[in-house]
Amino acid sequence: MAEHEDHSQGQDVSQRTEKPTFSGKVLVAEDIEGNKKLIKLLLCMLGVDVVVAEDGHQAVEKALSQSFDLILMDMQMPRMTGYEATVLLKKQGYSAPIVAVTASAMIGDEEKCREAGCDDYLTKPIRRKELSRLLAKYLPAAQGTASKAVTSAPERTEASEPARPEQTPSQTEDVAESNGSLNWNRLIDEWGGQEIVSNMLSVYFNDIVENYQALCQAIEAMHFKDIALRAHALKGVGRNLYVDPLRDVAEIVERAGRARDAETITLNTNDLKRQTQVVLNALSECDWITTPETSIS
């Protein structure tokens, strides 16, 4: 993927929105493109150096060949899961803290991660304030921001909150909120500023189009594994954007894919298509992000 472009975007955000809060180098193991970019941008904004691993194998390899202050480990990854990677690293005496990043907030889930050897636990969707609180436990503060950054990690510090965008699209927002798709103010709040929202939304737009088109092909061929994989990605986008209807229907299709349940997939395909289009429309109507003129069919 466009790693170079992505890197410069991260730099942009970190340079323009606020002073770095932490220093240190973090390994992010995450397989889903949109998650990867969001967490990378959030970490950049907080002043952290980021290296990305695409799966458990890469995570282990990079963890053992470079020096990191912290690992953020997605537990659900193809080829080698975060659980397996963590067990492997801990077996070899790996000493930097490993934080499990997972969407399952089910009872027993945190325990399962800790049993694998994870030192801490962070739930998706990633929110800037939670991430910041977590980093404060493991990373040194950036020089010059020391005491402020590490102490209380307050819910809301007006001074450090990025300014609201001048042209928050009130019109678009009304449309979006009335059809239950996107809540711009919530995204700005959860991610910590308009600039990261504007960066991420074009990423998500492309992600949605790509995964949706691949999902449709998989459904046509009833290729269950690909259906589950692509629906999983769309579920993640829905979750990250706080769009519950998309997240929920994608989850139904993902599960049906895993269960090889063609009937449930067919029954939910139209709804999935509708929810996807609702989000794409909201993204297209927003005048402060750049999205290609694309419509799914």
The residue ranges that bind Mn ion (CB under 5 A) are 31, 74, 76-77
Tokens of 21: 């809060």
Shortest Cβ distance from residue 32 to Mn ion (Å)? Answer: 5
Residue carrying structure tokens 């998989």:
218
28 vs 252, beta carbon nearer Mn ion: 28
For 128, the 3-state DSSP assignment is helix
Shortest Cβ distance from residue 47 to Mn ion (Å)? Answer: 25
Shortest Cβ distance from residue 230 to Mn ion (Å)? Answer: 13
Shortest Cβ distance from residue 58 to Mn ion (Å)? Answer: 13
Shortest Cβ distance from residue 74 to Mn ion (Å)? Answer: 4
Shortest Cβ distance from residue 53 to Mn ion (Å)? Answer: 12
Alpha carbon dihedral 26, 98, 241, 294, in 10-degree steps, equals 60
31 vs 195, beta carbon nearer Mn ion: 31
SS3 content of the chain, % helix, strand, coil (to 5): 60, 10, 35
Up-side HSE of residue 133: CA atoms within 13 Å toward CB?
Answer: 14
Bridge partners of residue 141, in order along the sequence: 22
31 vs 69, beta carbon nearer Mn ion: 31
Which residue minimizes CB distance to Mn ion? Answer: 76
136 vs 241, beta carbon nearer Mn ion: 241
Phi first, then psi: give them for residue 98, nearest 5 degrees: -115, 120
76 vs 206, beta carbon nearer Mn ion: 76
Best CA proximity match to 97, nearest among 71, 66, 67, 123: 71
For 216, the 3-state DSSP assignment is helix
101 vs 188, beta carbon nearer Mn ion: 101
Bridge partners of residue 126, in order along the sequence: none
